[in-house]
Structure 1
Amino acid sequence: MRKYACLLLFALILNGCDDGDVTVETLDFSDIKQASSCPSSNNQLVYKIKSQESLLLQLDEDTFENEPTLPGKPNTYQIDDNKFKLYYRSYDGPVGIPNICDFIPPTTPNVINEWYAKSGRIEIATTAITSTNSTTNAITITGYSHNIVIKNITYSVSSLDITQPQVVFGDFTTTVADVDKLDLAFTRPLVQCPTSKQIYTYNTKSAMTIDAIDPLLIKNEATAANSPRRGLIGSTVNKLLYKLFTGPPVSDDYFCGTTIPTTPTVKETWTGVDGVANTTGIIEVTTTTAVNNQFKHTIVLKNTSIKKGNNFVNLGTSYVLGELLTK
């Protein structure tokens, strides 16, 4: 009964705030599906605006992670009036982005009411936004959608504490920065390390390797037409790795040594998803004879995915890793 009395009091207080410009009966921004952020805030100030109202959510740096959450297990943060804050404002005229984001905001409209949340739990459920190549069926991640819900909020309104069970703040979208995009285009020939037998290729900022490759896949014997050698990607044998680097460009010096160089620095590591016979994660090697008594091994990955945490990227129906020459 006490809860319903508080809600009734909340409604009476809000109705009593009407000065002829705007009357708010409930805190509801659900009709605005997408939240926005100020360009210079590094996603630390997220907001929604409508007509003469705004809802502002201040967050700690890097709150929005490029990592999908598991179903029913959102990331949670507590409103603390320090790193995490929630404000509601109403105005005496139409409100725009400059009123929220400008360092020196316009003089109009004026803020006529401001309420802040004293406590509450912010829940953020994140999903990956993907794009599928219609030709190769490759699936890449282009961004992330963060669904924000705030629960058990206590507001300070006219010196009174009012509790609201839930406010659906809505969705906020982040994009993958150019420096973090996976560059899966490799034009260099494949190389096999003489001792570890690791197979690698690279471009300026990333590398793809197969560690502990099954020696039966790389044989100096031509394969019959349409009969490539086949193996499955695994966690120990035929271990597929994709690494994204920061720092100086990758070179051959990074590979085949007894110790891993400290530069360039590995920023992300994606591992191949274990293959399923005749279905996914298949390595195909077609071997033909080449000049100078060499053999050319063309390595193709079929229906292969790589993962990092809860992120998954599919390389497509048939991904040509490259060609390896052996004697």
Structure 2
Amino acid sequence: MKKLLGLLVSVLFLNGCDDGKLTVDTINFDDVAANACGEIIYKLNNNEALFVKIPTSENAFANQPTLPNAPTKIEIGGSVIMKYRFYNGKVSSDNICSLPAPISPSATEEWSASAGTIEITTTAVYSAANATTGALKISKYNHHIIIKNLVFAKPDGTNQKYESFNFGDYLTDATTLPLNFDPILVAQCTATPTIYNARNSGIESLVLENADADLIQNTGTVTKSISATTNKLVYRLYNTALPNTLSDYFCGTTPASPTIKEEWIATDGTIEVVNTTAGGFVHTITLKKVTFKKDNSTFYYGDAVIYGVLLTN
């Protein structure tokens, strides 16, 4: 009986190999991290490679969380391709990303996707909370890729079908927001209800637009809620540097340059102003429990962050 079992195993093994070529029945890259080169997202696993190529015009991996149960959907076909390859040696990124590809190792088997819907669910990945303020910043975006009703055309003329194929996760870096404001740089416009904090030749600003008329007092403590109209708090990141004369930029008609790279608007939180005297009047402005939002992305500014120390006469 043992001899018979051994013979059967040998026959199965021989049928699975053909002059060093492996007959592939299933593919599994669950534990492999995804990388990218250009429009290609790929996974490598020893002698195997799996990749999708999606044109940049599809905006498939935008740093923008998708809504619940509403993934980005892209049909395979035309310039959207997906392939699986088995090589006769350990594969590297050069085999996928370089043109021409290295002579060795060479692909001994290739499956090409003939149909399927790529579904991408994007979520924000946050860095560890700031130990002092509790602030939470977005560090990356995770794009979870599933292909529904996937059909691979195999070289033997048959098809390999998957109702739901888990390609896995692909990470992209979030835009770095410096959020580096000096409290002594806060200033107030004289002709408009605007308070701003920015640096000469800096690339970011934090602006309180349409500030409440009784926010700045001579004495006492004033607390106001942030809203979309009165006390509207806006963070902006610019493509190029701000001018040296900041009052001209923030207190008049906004110039065309610098252009805005990202704009985040506070959706909740409070403004606390402690008003004291020291020769003139000193107004210490603190932002409490502020959350900023841009499209579907949000970040938490912190439990209590000093926005500025404003001096008036």
TM-score bracket for this pair, using the shorter chain length = 0.7 to 0.9
The residue aligned with 2:241 is 248
Equivalence map 1:1-327=2 (5 Å) = 18-32=18-32, 34-38=33-37, 41=38, 44-61=39-56, 62-82=59-79, 84-131=80-127, 132-158=129-155, 159-176=157-174, 180-187=175-182, 188-203=184-199, 204-219=202-217, 221-223=218-220, 228-251=221-244, 252=246, 253-257=248-252, 259-274=253-268, 281-291=269-279, 294-327=280-313
Conserved 8 A contact 1:81-1:118: no
Query: For residues 290 and 261 of structure 1, what CA distance do their matches in structure 2 show?
Result: 36
Conserved 8 A contact 2:16-2:22: no
SS at match of 2:137: strand
Alpha-carbon spacing, 1:18–1:317, altered in 2? closer, same or farther (3 Å): farther
Letter in 1 for 2:216: I
The TM-score, its normalising length taken from structure 1, stands at 0.83
Query: For residues 42 and 265 of structure 2, what CA distance do their matches in structure 1 show?
Result: 37
- Report the Cα offset of residue 247 of structure 1: 2.3
Alpha-carbon spacing, 1:103–1:250, altered in 2? closer, same or farther (3 Å): farther
Give CA deviations for 1:79-128 in whole Å, capped at 9, x if unaligned. Answer: 1231x210111111222223223334332111111121122111111111
- Report the Cα offset of residue 46 of structure 1: 0.8
How much identity, in percent, do the aligned residues show? 39
SS at match of 1:315: strand
- Report the Cα offset of residue 169 of structure 1: 0.5
SS at match of 2:152: strand
SS at match of 1:200: strand
Letter in 2 for 1:135: T
Letter in 2 for 1:285: V
SS at match of 1:255: helix
Give CA deviations for 1:143-195 in whole Å, capped at 9, x if unaligned. Answer: 1111011111222223445432121000011112xxx3112111252111112
SS at match of 1:88: strand
Moved over 6 A (4+): none
Query: For residues 71 and 305 of structure 1, what CA distance do their matches in structure 2 show?
Result: 20
- Report the Cα offset of residue 266 of structure 1: 1.2
Letter in 2 for 1:71: P
Flag the structure with higher strand content: 2
- Report the Cα offset of residue 235 of structure 1: 1.1
Letter in 1 for 2:296: N
Query: For residues 24 and 146 of structure 1, what CA distance do their matches in structure 2 show?
Result: 28
The residue aligned with 1:6 is none
Letter in 2 for 1:35: A
Query: For residues 183 and 205 of structure 1, what CA distance do their matches in structure 2 show?
Result: 9
The TM-score, its normalising length taken from structure 2, stands at 0.87
The runs of 5 or more residues in structure 2 that have no matched partner are 1-14
Give CA deviations for 1:18-37 in whole Å, capped at 9, x if unaligned. Answer: 543423111222232x2111
- Report the Cα offset of residue 17 of structure 1: 7.8
The residue aligned with 2:12 is none
Query: For residues 170 and 273 of structure 2, what CA distance do their matches in structure 1 show?
Result: 44
Aligned residues: 290
SS at match of 1:99: helix
Letter in 2 for 1:127: T
The residue aligned with 1:7 is none
The runs of 5 or more residues in structure 1 that have no matched partner are 1-14, 275-280
SS at match of 1:273: strand
Alpha-carbon spacing, 1:318–1:18, altered in 2? closer, same or farther (3 Å): farther
Give CA deviations for 1:124-144 in whole Å, capped at 9, x if unaligned. Answer: 111111111122211111111
